[in-house]
Amino acid sequence: MPSTAIPELGRLRWRCRRGMKELDLLLTRYLEERYGGSSPAAQRAFLELLEAPDPVIYAYCMGQAYPPTAILSAVIERITSNAVG
């Protein structure tokens, strides 16, 4: 789905801006490239993730902590696998 078709994309881009440059890049790239094609459940999980503090998101992305739900784990996997390519 093209990013222009996602309602409130600008607001989501703003929410992806974090205090850590690494998270900015990971979250924004996921939003731009994968969020629109994700299932509604994955989109909700991503919005939930954006509510978490930076150290928690970073720990999830670095494999230092595990998300509390399977869908959030899947979103983290997609975010971090996207960082490679």
What whole-number percentage of the chain has pLDDT above 90?
A: 81
Tell me the pLDDT band of 1, cut-offs 50, 70 and 90: very low
Report, as an integer, the average pLDDT of 60-85.
90
- What topology is assigned to 3-84 in CATH? DNA polymerase; domain 1 (1.10.150)
**Distance from C-alpha of 8 to C-alpha of 81, rounded to nearest angstrom:** 25
Q: Residue 5: its pLDDT value, please?
A: 54
Q: Residue 2: its pLDDT value, please?
A: 47
What the block records as the tokens of 65 is: 């902590």
Q: Does 3 have pLDDT greater than 60? A: no
Q: How many helices (H) and strands (E) does the chain have?
A: 5, 0
Model confidence over 29-50: pLDDT tens digits?
Answer: 999 999 999 999 999 999 999 9
